[in-house]
A and B are shown apart, each in its own frame.
Chain A
Amino acid sequence: DIQMTQSPSSLSASVGDRVTITCRASQYISTYLNWYQEKPGTAPRVLIYAASTLQSGVPSRFSGSGSGTDFTLTISSLQREDFATYYCQQSYSPPYSFGQGTKLEI
């Protein structure tokens, strides 16, 4: 099975900051890497798929990059509504595993 590891596990930041979250896969996954945002009491929401493609309706301050085993999610200028938990997920091969999450706090 492919293991996904995110860093950091938590992050404190301020409105307007630029933030980067990293995700590493235990083996090659090409660009089959997705990023989700989760807020308490709600289902996850996809932000980025195929490592760098912005899902429709997601603000352009979110961007993703990487291929192979190393990936990043960047938020260019944090807004108040961005404080949430972020998960990476590989969809290269089942089981489609997730990272442990990065909690972004004010």
Chain B
Amino acid sequence: QVQLVQSGAEVKKPGASVQLSCKASGYSFSDFHIHWVRQAPGQRLEWMGMINARFGDSTYSQKFQDRVTMTTDTSTNTVYMELSNLRSEDTAVYYCARFRIVTGGRFFDYWGQGTLVPVSS
């Protein structure tokens, strides 16, 4: 069955960087894009960006453009997301999600379990 398993919670200080991983299994890894979505406490879901798992090309939200890097490792079926220069507002649960494209639609059909990243001095 399709699974996306994310790395564990990380506590970070302001100014630090965090790298999260998302390991895929149960499907052909290279055939789907992986997106990252975050949710700060009490806030709406927020799209951060996406990566082509096969070729590694990525598209980022302008909000995170200068601080986020997404990479892919096809040998381990793992996608990574690094967010730098963390601030308290980055405290959130971070999700990876598989992007499915069908005729007339595009949506996230499988999600990781989420990774909590508290940012505090």
Do A and B come together as binding partners?
A: yes
Q: Is the interface of A mostly helix, strand, loop or mixed?
A: loop
Q: What distance in Å separates the Cβ of A8 from its nearest Cβ neighbour in chain B?
A: 15
CB proximity of B66 to chain A, nearest CB, Å = 15
Q: Contact at A50–B35, with CB atoms within 8 Å? A: no
The reply to whether A43 and B114 contact each other, CB–CB distance below 8 Å, is yes
A55 within 8 A of B: yes
**Contact flags B81-121 to A (C-beta < 8 A → 1, else 0):** 00000000000000101000010111111011110000000
Alpha-carbon separation in the docked complex, A99 to B43 (Å): 10
In the assembled complex, which residues on chain A have CB atoms less than 8 Å from the CB atom of B59?
A: 94
Is the contact region of chain B dominated by helix, strand, or loop, or is it mixed?
strand
Residues of chain B within 8 A (CB-CB) of A89 are: 45, 107-108
> Does B62 sit at the interface, judged by CB under 8 A?
yes
Q: Quote the shortest CB–CB distance from B41 to chain A (angstroms).
A: 12
User: Is the Cβ of B107 less than 8 Å from the Cβ of A46?
Assistant: yes
Q: Is B105 a contact partner of A95 (Cβ separation < 8 A)?
A: no
- Contact (Cβ within 8 A) A46 B109: yes
Contact residues in A for B45 (Cβ distance below 8 Å): 36, 38, 44, 87, 89, 98, 101
Is B31 among interface residues, defined by CB-CB distance under 8 A? no
Give the CA-CA distance A95 to B35 in the complex, in Å: 11
A72 at the interface (CB under 8 A from B): no
A1, A36, A49, A99: the one within 8 Å of B105 (CB)? A49
B61 within 8 A of partner (CB): yes
* Set A34, A94, A95, A97: member contacting B107, Cβ < 8 A: A34
CB contacts under 8 Å to B, within A1-45, are 1, 31-32, 34, 36, 38, 43-45
Q: List 9 A-B contacts (CB under 8 A).
A: A32-B105, A43-B114, A46-B109, A87-B45, A89-B45, A94-B47, A94-B50, A94-B61, A97-B47
